[in-house]
Amino acid sequence: MPWLTHKNVGGGKFFTNMDNAPSKKPMKFGVKILLNLLAMALIGVLLLWLGTLWLDVWTDHGEYREVPDVRRMAYEDAVQRLEKDGFVVELSDSVYDNSAAPGMVVEQNPKVNTKVKHARTVYLTVNAFAPRSVTLPALTDMSLRQARSILEGLGVKNIEVREVPSEYQDLVLNVTRDGHRLMPGARIPTTGTVVIEVGAGMLENEGDSLALDTNDIDFLDLN
C-alpha cells in the first residue's frame, strides 16, 4: 500500500503519494570496493614515486666519481685523501715486499680512475713492517712432493732440495734453514729459504762397493 501524506493548501487537505517522492539510492557494495582499490593503488604509486625520488637523492643517482691513485702513499695519507673525496676506506690485506717502504699502499680496489658511486668502499693492501711468519708442520717421513706442496700452501716460496745418502729416495729426512735443523712448530718467515733434505736412493758407500766389485771382475778376467 503506498504511503500518503497530506498538506494544508488554502485551508484544505491535499494528499500526496510518498512513493513518487525523489530519494537517494544507496551506493552498490561492488562500486565501493572498486573505489577503495583504486584509492589504494594511487596511494601505492605515490609512495613508490616518493621512495624512488628519495633514493636518487640519497645515492646521488647519475653522479660518479673517479677513484684516485693512492698507491705508493703512506696508509694514513691514503685514508685522508680517499675520505676527503667521499670514499669509505677499509684495510683488506698486508703483504711483505722488501722493495717497498713499510706501511705503504701497494694495491687498491677498485682500480685507479674507476668511476664509482659516492661513499663507495675502497679496499687497500699495505706493505707489512715485517715478513709474515708461519708455523712449520712435521714434514719428515713424507715424500718430497708432499712436503713442497705443504710449504707452498703456507706461503713459503723459496725452497731448496738437497739430496743426502739414504736408501729411501725422495723421502724427507730433515728440514733446515741457515744451516740449522728446524723442528715441527718452529716459526719461519715466508720470505726465508727453507732447505729440504731428501734421500738420494743409495747408501753412502754403495758407489764404492759397486766400483770394488767391478775391479774384482776385471782382476778375475786377467787371471
- The answer to pTM > 0.85 is no
Whether 162 has a pLDDT exceeding 50, the answer reads yes
HSE-up of residue 143 (Cα within 13 Å, Cβ side): 3
**Residue range 38-57: average pLDDT?**
80
Indicate whether 208 belongs to any domain: no
51 shares its domain with 79: no
109 shares its domain with 166: no
Number of structural domains the chain divides into: 3
Whether 112 has a pLDDT exceeding 60, the answer reads yes
**Residue range 29-42: average pLDDT?**
81
Indicate whether 168 belongs to any domain: yes
* Owning domain of residue 90: 65-127
In angstroms and rounded to an integer, the radius of gyration of the C-alpha atoms of the chain is 45
Question: Which stretch of DSSP H or E encloses residue 149?
Answer: helix 144-154
Indicate whether 47 belongs to any domain: yes
75 shares its domain with 114: yes
Indicate whether 178 belongs to any domain: yes
